[in-house]
A and B are shown apart, each in its own frame.
Chain A
Amino acid sequence: MSLRPHDERMVMPTPFAPRVAALCQTNDWYTWAGYTTPNTFEEVGLEYFAMRNATGVFDLSPMTKYRITGPDSEAFLNRVMVRDVRKIKPGRVGYTVWCTDEGMVHDDGTIFHLADGDYRLCAQERCMDWLHWSTLGFDVDIADETADIAALAVQGPTSCATLRNMGLSGIENLKPFGIATFPFNGAELLVSRTGYTGDLGYELWIDAGQALPLWDALFAAGRELLIRPVGSEALGIARIEAGFIMAGEDFVPAEQVVRHGRARSPFELGLDWLVDFHKGPFTGRNALLKEQREGSRYRFVILDIEGNKPANHSFILDKHGRTIGHVTSAAWCPTAKSNIALASMNMPWGRDDDEMYAEIYYNRELAWTRLLSRCRVRRDPVFDPPRRRATPAQNL
């Protein structure tokens, strides 16, 4: 068996590492899925506002990427995923989650339907073993192309204009969750109108060998449009603002759960809309039907919290001070000027009119303060601008 990249080195640089390292003034790194990734480049606020007001670029290369081909690829994915994969037409991307037999979420990710019978699955976590076990009875090939494909998220109101400047003509006509390809430097550049920021934005996918030319062309095209590299901290604020969950934060991938009962189902993550009981068999169906009949244990909510102290790791209390849930992600969201938390509430809590308080602790020069801040359930994410969906895209 040939060596895979991580056989030689435990933590790898991404294909953009030379550029990323040169720009990473904070020298503030962490390991994401076996790759060195910056938390910040310069200052988290600058990066966040670049993403919201101009263009932020995030190195997405560590994202796990599986190429799924073969005559049964569609049927295979339809059996793995809770949603009806047949409805994701060629040239389209679909968000999805996949579950264990017990209906607990392994991970969430996106399916790229590249061509008839040719798919790419992008996920936060590695899941080759699970996918491989799921191939029993299907004529399908799965290749891990994580290391072979370099990827950038290009997000923000000037992202479309930046890509046009780069020569991607007609990119403004690409619909949300659409895929287009463009020739680039003798290779093929794949662009999807997808992202993790809840805004107008794109993701660029290219052969790893073309990573540096792509980075250079992109930054040259975006210079006038205030393009800026973005680390995971800024992206983290943006995704909370947009109401997107994250594996390892808002749920523990079912395969990594050690203690019984700590995983979450799609219903418990607010993803009811994904689950399709009419499409035929899929892994977890029986368990999810049972959950639908008998009720879930938790309710996923977006909470708007009074004040401006982020409610990270807070318990949510009822008016008697009893614990009724806890925060899984939280941030002060600058654009929305809101204090937002994603939370997992014990059933039946988290209803629209429930009286709930976040127990927030913060420390100012060794003085701890405990706040009980009133929370209200939000039905929609706090950041959801019309330009996110508009086609042709805003072309500033």
Chain B
Amino acid sequence: MTDALNKGSYDTIIIGAGHNGLVCAAYLAKAGRKVLVLEAASQPGGAAATREFHPGFRISSGAHLLTQLNPGIARELGLASHGLAYAARDLKTVALAEDGAHLVIDGASVSGVSASDAAAYGRFHTQNKRFGKVLDGFFSRRQPTLVDRSWDDAFSLLKLGWSLRRLGKDDMQDLMRVGLINIYDVANEHFDSELLKAAVAMDGVLGSHMGPRSPNTVYGYLHRHIGDAWGNTGPALVRGGMGALGQAFAAAARGFGAEIRCDSKVALVEMQGCRATGVTLESGETLLADTIISNADPKTTFEKLVGHPSLDAGFSRRVHNFRSRGVSAKLHLALDALPEFTGLDGALAGERLLLAPTMDHIERAFNHAKYGEYSQAPVMEVSIPTVHDDSLAPAGKHVLSAIVQFAPYALGQGWDTGKQAFKQLALDQLEQYAPGIGQQLLASELSTPVDLEREFGMTGGHWHHGEIALDQALLMRPMPGAHQYSTPIPGLFLCGAGSHPGGGIMGLAGRNAAEAVIKHQSNGKERAA
């Protein structure tokens, strides 16, 4: 449909060189498509980024721990050969206690708790791994539609049904039960230790506008632990920071022939008739292609790049109602020395550290967010990557990265005034667990959801581009009408974290999208408008 005269040398344009955009580009280029990836920032990788925030100190400014990278994608794209190296793998999780009675989770085992809790955690972990294997089946393919479905969709449903059935009666009942309740109740069913319950609950609420008692938190937990089903026992640290992974994705995409243009922010999706035919950059330049794939979040894609007027009113309302307000801030510290956490063996300082004493504490921290306030006693996930990776700071110095919750995007008082105070609250929390850390501070930086939105172009600063909740998951992600990577606009597709199965540097959304685009084209389903 595009005017052959104006047509560029690309058949596919991908908006955004975040990891899913790059994965999608790589698979499409591998399949012979001529792919151009347009990136607003000056380097590819999206929220897989490393940035110097203080002279000589570099930090993973978006995602900091790698928990969910799909190993199949890493293998198929040859990420290792494109420079991906791990500074550490299968990190333990240390739930810090102020009095130093920490507990350590390592895969299926946990130390620092009663024998019965340890046994219960083993069972819990193993069951969740089985659930994870079922989810893996759901995550690794395009979600079927329930009406108007094709044979393909029917087959998918059959396979998914079978994977559920194969769990056995008890597990299947349990999955359907816990999937709909909350992590607070589930943790209470299994464990006695408040600290252990809190550590489990944190995995249900990280990145989400949810407290432990919110529904969807079990799904959030399982989503976060999908890596367990792929053989990880804990998160990994990328050598050189997460930006190195972004670079590896970019190198892989380039390796297959995709072109990546940075500093090229897309302003609009161009339409001819009612079909997407290209994009216009903020510079005013227009680029045409038959297939446009947006790795931008659904709100950015539909509200800004396409615009409500080009959409059906009902769909446009679903876009409007899509929940994507982040609650996670990132705290970055440059430290003169390795901080000492009360009672923590220095060898464990490089593990994943949690500052969340009880589930009630987390719930109270969340309460504030419901009313547009930040938590007075925020909870945190902390990583000190320099324990494993000396490339990020001068010798002997350290950087600390923390996800701090809850910091609602739409802060009532506004982040201009709130930012400094919230950062201080986060530092105070750290001081309680690591007395003296304040004196080691060389520089500090807090990225609020508003900052993250600006830095990475994610609406609401939400790292999944939208809440991971059952009403926005699986065959309803991001919303009915756009849930199979195609959109109501012919020629326009989605490949980002806003699509099934979500973000978290997994790559599956990008790969599934590439498969969906290829299938769409080969089915000849696409019709000129």
A interacts with B: yes
Asked whether B9 is an interface residue with its Cβ less than 8 Å from the other chain, the reply is: no
Asked whether A391 is an interface residue with its Cβ less than 8 Å from the other chain, the reply is: no
A78 → chain B closest CB, angstroms: 9
B298 → chain A closest CB, angstroms: 14
> Is there contact, CB below 8 Å, between A133 and B317?
yes
Q: Which chain B positions have C-beta within 8 A of A280?
A: 273-274, 310
Contact A101 B314, CB 8 Å, known A285-B274, A286-B488: yes
**In the complex, what distance in Å separates the CA atom of A284 from the CA atom of B316?**
12
Q: Which chain B positions have C-beta within 8 A of A133?
A: 313-314, 316-317
Q: Which chain B positions have C-beta within 8 A of A134?
A: 313, 316
**In the complex, what distance in Å separates the CA atom of A284 from the CA atom of B488?**
10
Asked whether B99 is an interface residue with its Cβ less than 8 Å from the other chain, the reply is: no
> Is there contact, CB below 8 Å, between A137 and B308?
yes
Contact A284 B308, CB 8 Å, known A101-B481, A133-B317, A289-B529: no
Asked whether A146 is an interface residue with its Cβ less than 8 Å from the other chain, the reply is: no
Q: Which chain B positions have C-beta within 8 A of A285?
A: 274, 312
> Is there contact, CB below 8 Å, between B312 and A136?
no
Asked whether A192 is an interface residue with its Cβ less than 8 Å from the other chain, the reply is: no
Contact pick for A281, options B274, B317, B320, B527, CB 8 Å: B274
B480 → chain A closest CB, angstroms: 10
Asked whether B315 is an interface residue with its Cβ less than 8 Å from the other chain, the reply is: yes
Contact pick for A283, options B303, B314, B481, CB 8 Å: B314
> Is there contact, CB below 8 Å, between B308 and A101?
no
Q: Which chain A positions have C-beta within 8 A of B310?
A: 280-281
**In the complex, what distance in Å separates the CA atom of A37 from the CA atom of B303?**
44
Asked whether A362 is an interface residue with its Cβ less than 8 Å from the other chain, the reply is: no
> Is there contact, CB below 8 Å, between A137 and B309?
yes
**In the complex, what distance in Å separates the CA atom of A281 from the CA atom of B489?**
10
Asked whether A30 is an interface residue with its Cβ less than 8 Å from the other chain, the reply is: no
A128 → chain B closest CB, angstroms: 13
> Is there contact, CB below 8 Å, between A79 and B313?
yes
> Is there contact, CB below 8 Å, between B314 and A281?
no
Enumerate B2-29 residues with CB–CB distance to A below 8 Å.
none
**In the complex, what distance in Å separates the CA atom of A289 from the CA atom of B488?**
12
Asked whether B412 is an interface residue with its Cβ less than 8 Å from the other chain, the reply is: no
Asked whether A182 is an interface residue with its Cβ less than 8 Å from the other chain, the reply is: no
**In the complex, what distance in Å separates the CA atom of A293 from the CA atom of B490?**
15
Cβ proximity bits A50-81 to B, threshold 8 Å, 1 near / 0 not: 00000000000000000000000001000110
Q: Which chain B positions have C-beta within 8 A of A138?
A: 308-309
Cβ proximity bits A126-144 to B, threshold 8 Å, 1 near / 0 not: 0000100110111000000
| Residue in A100, A134, A278, A284 with the greatest tally of chain B CB atoms within 10 Å | A134
CB nearest to A284 among chain B residues: B312
CB nearest to B308 among chain A residues: A137
**In the complex, what distance in Å separates the CA atom of A75 from the CA atom of B309?**
8
**In the complex, what distance in Å separates the CA atom of A284 from the CA atom of B312?**
6
CB nearest to B318 among chain A residues: A101
CB nearest to A72 among chain B residues: B309
Q: Which chain B positions have C-beta within 8 A of A284?
A: 312
Cβ proximity bits A119-159 to B, threshold 8 Å, 1 near / 0 not: 00000000000100110111000000000000000000000
> Is there contact, CB below 8 Å, between B313 and A101?
yes
Q: Which chain B positions have C-beta within 8 A of A101?
A: 312-315, 481
Cβ proximity bits B316-330 to A, threshold 8 Å, 1 near / 0 not: 110010000000000
A236 → chain B closest CB, angstroms: 31
B319 → chain A closest CB, angstroms: 8
Q: Which chain A positions have C-beta within 8 A of B108?
A: none
Asked whether B346 is an interface residue with its Cβ less than 8 Å from the other chain, the reply is: no
Asked whether B396 is an interface residue with its Cβ less than 8 Å from the other chain, the reply is: no
A83 → chain B closest CB, angstroms: 16
A98 → chain B closest CB, angstroms: 9
Asked whether B438 is an interface residue with its Cβ less than 8 Å from the other chain, the reply is: no
Contact A136 B314, CB 8 Å, known A101-B481, A281-B274, A286-B488: no
Asked whether B181 is an interface residue with its Cβ less than 8 Å from the other chain, the reply is: no
Asked whether B414 is an interface residue with its Cβ less than 8 Å from the other chain, the reply is: no
**In the complex, what distance in Å separates the CA atom of A75 from the CA atom of B307?**
13
> Is there contact, CB below 8 Å, between B317 and A136?
yes
Q: Which chain A positions have C-beta within 8 A of B119?
A: none
> Is there contact, CB below 8 Å, between A137 and B314?
no
> Is there contact, CB below 8 Å, between B312 and A286?
yes
A101 → chain B closest CB, angstroms: 4
> Is there contact, CB below 8 Å, between B316 and A100?
no
**In the complex, what distance in Å separates the CA atom of A133 from the CA atom of B314?**
8
Asked whether B311 is an interface residue with its Cβ less than 8 Å from the other chain, the reply is: yes
Q: Which chain B positions have C-beta within 8 A of A75?
A: 309
Cβ proximity bits A270-285 to B, threshold 8 Å, 1 near / 0 not: 0000000010110111
Contact pick for A137, options B273, B274, B312, B316, CB 8 Å: B316
> Is there contact, CB below 8 Å, between B309 and A79?
yes
> Is there contact, CB below 8 Å, between A100 and B314?
yes
Q: Which chain A positions have C-beta within 8 A of B529?
A: 289
**In the complex, what distance in Å separates the CA atom of A147 from the CA atom of B274?**
38
A254 → chain B closest CB, angstroms: 10
Q: Which chain A positions have C-beta within 8 A of B312?
A: 100-101, 283-286
CB nearest to A280 among chain B residues: B274
Cβ proximity bits B472-499 to A, threshold 8 Å, 1 near / 0 not: 0000000001000000100000000000
**In the complex, what distance in Å separates the CA atom of A75 from the CA atom of B320?**
19
Q: Which chain A positions have C-beta within 8 A of B303?
A: 137
Contact A281 B311, CB 8 Å, known A136-B320, A286-B488, A289-B529: yes
A2 → chain B closest CB, angstroms: 26
CB nearest to A102 among chain B residues: B314
A136 → chain B closest CB, angstroms: 4
Q: Which chain B positions have C-beta within 8 A of A278?
A: 273
CB nearest to B274 among chain A residues: A281
Q: Which chain B positions have C-beta within 8 A of A286?
A: 274, 312, 488
CB nearest to B303 among chain A residues: A137
A142 → chain B closest CB, angstroms: 13
Enumerate B289-319 residues with CB–CB distance to A below 8 Å.
303, 307-317
CB nearest to B481 among chain A residues: A101
Q: Which chain A positions have C-beta within 8 A of B307?
A: 137
Contact pick for A136, options B273, B308, B488, B527, CB 8 Å: B308
Cβ proximity bits A233-253 to B, threshold 8 Å, 1 near / 0 not: 000000000000000000000
> Is there contact, CB below 8 Å, between B313 and A130?
yes
**In the complex, what distance in Å separates the CA atom of A285 from the CA atom of B488?**
10
A365 → chain B closest CB, angstroms: 50
B170 → chain A closest CB, angstroms: 35
A292 → chain B closest CB, angstroms: 11
Q: Which chain A positions have C-beta within 8 A of B316?
A: 133-134, 136-137
Contact A281 B313, CB 8 Å, known A289-B529, A293-B527: no
Enumerate B484-529 residues with CB–CB distance to A below 8 Å.
488, 527, 529
B138 → chain A closest CB, angstroms: 26
**In the complex, what distance in Å separates the CA atom of A133 from the CA atom of B317?**
6
Q: A101-B315, A133-B317, A278-B273 are in contact. List 20 more A-B contacts (CB 8 A).
A: A80-B313, A100-B312, A101-B313, A101-B481, A133-B313, A133-B314, A133-B316, A136-B317, A136-B320, A138-B309, A280-B273, A280-B274, A280-B310, A281-B310, A283-B313, A285-B312, A286-B274, A286-B312, A286-B488, A289-B529
Q: What are the 8 closest A-B residue pairs judged by CB atoms, nearest first?
A: A137-B308, A101-B312, A101-B314, A134-B313, A136-B308, A283-B313, A283-B312, A281-B310
What are 10 residue pairs bridging A and B, where the CB atoms are less than 8 Å apart in the complex?
A75-B309, A100-B314, A101-B481, A137-B303, A137-B307, A137-B316, A280-B273, A280-B274, A289-B527, A289-B529
Q: Using a CB–CB distance below 8 Å, which chain B residues touch chain A?
A: 273-274, 303, 307-317, 320, 481, 488, 527, 529
